[in-house]
């Protein structure tokens, strides 16, 4: 690795968050019975005519603007011809010579560095169907096809070959996902195939200006696969070059079980697809006014939201960056504040207690057993001194594990803070009476022993005594 460097470019496909498909009005809903969301258009029946979904175009433009691209005034769909059972039209409708947007960038942060990664293009296309090779009694003999995905709107985001390490590629995909989620362009659900990634990888001697021959690694559908596949592929290519071999341009697949990339087919070239303009769709003409409209409707981006959190809520920059890492988490924080929690307490409890418990339980924020309103109720009681912070943590654990509200747990377990001065004084008197030596030490100037008395009182009250009252009464009685 000291001698070589890798050159990596990523092609990311993201499903646009529309209700209907890109060229027909069939539903895009995931998980419906196979082949229930189909019509003559997405099945490619003769004579059927596609019509572009305006919402899909708006979302694609939104992604392009968020990625700092230039939106082209005129773009055009083309037919990308190939034959495969999951592609009933015999071609995919995609933008080729005239893509929707070009020349953008995305800034990534990794290891304390920032780096701008070029975005070559963003274009729209339709998805193919899905071949089902498993799960049926006769799966050993037959492959089943589900056309529900056919015609689902996608954007393809092609990066410049600006990435140099698997860690940079990982940071790029993480940041891109964050942007697409924040802008509501895509839900980026990798399990449901809403975000897919292919990588172009080559290696060259460090300092060389010419690129080596690249391999395209397909279907890196999780962050883990992306890192592992890139590491494997870089080593494989260095091995070939070092042993005097020649790289061939090819498409490879990441074999998860075997932990290696495997040849899939020789890399196809553009001419293999016999691209030609899609005759059934008009060119896409985009006016400055439409760009302004899409820009005006753009949801707040992650960096802007972090700045607003600092300004409006006066939380620490660290908390702001943790809380805005995912949109759902930032939403959770704001909902907690809107439900009445103090921003600083909310930030602290969410970034420490809640995230730790979610992480331990392997849950996403969306599946949190504690709702923002419920957390706000707890924090109000802690901040008002009705329960101590230590008790608050115990109550929070119960809320998380049992799904009960703070008040239910506090009442059921008798955890409310003891603020009855007479009761506390009685306990303090007992403690003082039982420890004459320490009283003597305190009175002779050893103030360190004060902590011992606080500890004793807290033990007697199971940590529920109001700490301020305990301090006051102890000082008075020890004096
Ligand atoms: Zn349809």
CA 10/CA 6 separation, integer angstroms? 13
| Burial 314-335, CB ≥16 within 10 A → b, else e | ebeeebbbbbbbbbebbebbbb
- Taken in order 313, 318, 320, 322, is the CA torsion positive or negative? negative
Q: Which of 185, 125, 176 is nearest to 152 (CA)?
A: 125
Report how far residue 125's alpha carbon sits from residue 354's, in angstroms, rounded to the nearest whole number.
40
The alpha carbon of 81 and the centre of ligand 1 are apart by a number of angstroms equal to: 20
21 alpha carbon to ligand 1 midpoint, in Å? 7
Q: How far apart are CA 75 and CA 256, in angstroms?
A: 38
Ligand 1 centroid distance, CA of 39 (Å): 4
How far is C-alpha 424 from the chain's CA centre?
49
Ligand 1 centre and the CA of 50: distance in Å?
Answer: 9
Give residue 46's pLDDT band: very low, low, confident or very high (50, 70, 90).
Answer: very high
Q: What's the pLDDT at 479?
A: 83
By three-state DSSP, how is residue 4 classified?
Answer: strand
* H or E segment and range at residue 228: helix 223-242
The secondary structure of residue 46, as a DSSP letter, is: T
Q: Are 182 and 17 in contact (CB under 8 A)?
A: no
How much of the chain is in helix, strand and coil states, percent to nearest 5?
40, 20, 35
pLDDT(8) > 80: yes
Instruction: Give residue 351's Cα distance to chain centre.
Output: 16
Distance 56 CA to ligand 1 centre (A): 15
DSSP string covering 231-299: HHHHHHHHHHHHTT-----EEEEEETTTTEEEEEEEPP-GGGG--EE-TTS--EE--HHHHHHHHHTPP
Whether residue 268 has pLDDT greater than 70: no
Higher pLDDT, 411 or 138: 138
- 26 C-alpha vs ligand 1 centroid, how far in Å? 4
Distance of CA 149 from the midpoint of ligand 1 (Å): 10
Distance 25 CA to ligand 1 centre (A): 6
pLDDT at 413: 79
How many angstroms is it from 28 CA to the middle of ligand 1? 9
Q: Which of 45-59, 167-181, 445-459 has the lowest mean pLDDT?
A: 445-459
Please, are residues 3 and 206 in contact by the beta-carbon 8 Å criterion? yes
Q: How far is the CA of 268 from the centre of ligand 1 (A)?
A: 29
Mean pLDDT score, 107-136? 92
- Residue 270 confidence (pLDDT) above 80: no
Average pLDDT over residues 423-448: 90
Report whether 151 contacts 41 (CB < 8 A).
Answer: yes
Q: Report CA(60)–ligand 1 centroid distance (Å).
A: 20
Q: What is the pTM of this model?
A: 0.79
Task: Report the C-alpha dihedral over residues 314, 317, 322, 324, rounded to 10 degrees.
Answer: 70
Q: How far does residue 24's CA lie from ligand 1's centre (Å)?
A: 5
Mean of the pLDDT values across residues 217-232? 90
DSSP 271: G
CA of 178 to the centre of ligand 1 (A): 30
Residue 221 Cα to ligand 1 middle (Å): 26
Residue 22 Cα, ligand 1 centroid: separation in angstroms? 9
For residues 412 and 274, the model is more confident at 274
Task: Find the 124 Cα to ligand 1 centroid distance in Å.
Answer: 17
How many angstroms separate the alpha carbon of residue 38 from the centre of ligand 1? 4
Q: Which residue has the higher pLDDT, 270 or 34?
A: 34
pLDDT at 391: 85
pLDDT of the residue at 404 = 87
| Beta bridge mates, 196 | 13
- Rounded distance from Cα 163 to ligand 1 centre (Å): 38
Contact between 26 and 151 (Cβ < 8 Å): yes
Q: What is the three-class DSSP state of 91?
A: strand
Mean pLDDT of 384-411: 86
Ligand 1 centroid–CA 138 distance in Å is 28
Ligand 1 center to residue 90 CA distance, Å?
16
Residue carrying structure tokens 């329960």: 387
Cα of 445 vs centre of ligand 1, distance in Å, is: 86
Question: What are the structure tokens assigned to 428, written together?
Answer: 């303090």
pLDDT surpasses 70 at 266: no
Residue range 433-460: mean pLDDT, rounded: 90
* 465-479 pLDDT tens trace: 888 888 999 999 888
Q: Is-contact 280 50, C-beta < 8 A? A: yes
Report CA(192)–ligand 1 centroid distance (Å). Answer: 19
Split at pLDDT 50, 70, 90, the class of 421 is confident
């Amino acid at each position: 690795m000291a001698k070589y460097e890798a050159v990596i470019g990523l092609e990311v496909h993201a499903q646009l968050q529309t209700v209907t498909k890109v060229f027909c009005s069939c539903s895009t809903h995931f998980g419906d019975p196979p082949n229930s969301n189909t019509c003559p258009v997405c099945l490619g029946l003769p004579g059927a005519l596609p019509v572009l979904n305006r919402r899909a175009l708006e979302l694609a433009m939104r992604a392009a603007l968020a990625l700092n691209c230039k939106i082209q005034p005129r773009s055009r769909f083309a037919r990308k011809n190939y034959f495969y059972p999951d592609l009933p039209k015999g071609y995919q409708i995609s933008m080729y010579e005239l893509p929707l947007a070009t020349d953008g960038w995305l800034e990534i942060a990794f290891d304390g560095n920032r780096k701008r990664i070029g975005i070559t293009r963003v274009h729209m296309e339709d998805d193919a169907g899905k071949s089902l090779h498993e799960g049926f009694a006769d799966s050993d003999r037959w492959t089943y096809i589900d056309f529900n995905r056919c015609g689902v709107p996608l954007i393809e985001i092609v990066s410049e070959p600006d990435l140099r390490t698997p860690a940079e590629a990982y940071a790029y995909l993480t940041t891109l996902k964050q942007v697409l989620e924040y802008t509501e362009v895509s839900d980026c659900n990798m399990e449901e195939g809403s975000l897919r990634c292919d990588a172009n990888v080559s290696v060259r001697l460090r300092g060389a200006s010419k690129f080596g021959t690249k391999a395209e690694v397909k279907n890196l559908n999780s962050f883990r696969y992306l890192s592992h596949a890139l590491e494997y592929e870089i080593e494989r290519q260095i091995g070939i070059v070092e042993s005097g071999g020649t790289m061939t341009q090819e498409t490879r697949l990441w074999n998860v079980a075997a932990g290696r990339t495997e040849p899939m087919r020789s890399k196809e070239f553009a001419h293999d697809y016999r691209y030609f303009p899609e005759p059934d769709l008009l060119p896409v003409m985009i006016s400055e006014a439409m760009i302004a409209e899409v820009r005006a409707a753009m949801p707040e981006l992650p960096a802007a939201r972090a700045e607003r959190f600092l300004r409006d809520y006066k939380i620490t920059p660290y908390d702001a960056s943790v809380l805005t890492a995912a949109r759902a988490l930032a939403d959770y924080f704001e909902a907690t504040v809107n439900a009445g929690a103090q921003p600083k307490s909310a930030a602290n409890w969410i970034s420490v207690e809640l995230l730790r418990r979610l992480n331990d339980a392997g849950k996403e924020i969306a599946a949190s057993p504690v709702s923002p309103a419920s957390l706000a109720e707890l924090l109000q009681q802690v901040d008002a001194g009705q329960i101590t912070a230590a008790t608050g943590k115990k109550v929070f654990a119960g809320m998380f594990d049992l799904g009960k509200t703070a008040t239910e747990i506090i009442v059921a377990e008798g955890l409310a803070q003891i603020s009855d001065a007479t009761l506390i004084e009685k306990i303090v008197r007992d403690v003082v009476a039982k420890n004459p030596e320490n009283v003597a030490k305190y009175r002779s100037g050893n103030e360190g022993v004060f902590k011992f008395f606080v500890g004793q009182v807290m033990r007697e009250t199971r940590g529920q005594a109001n700490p301020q009252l305990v301090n006051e009464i102890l000082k008075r009685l020890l004096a």
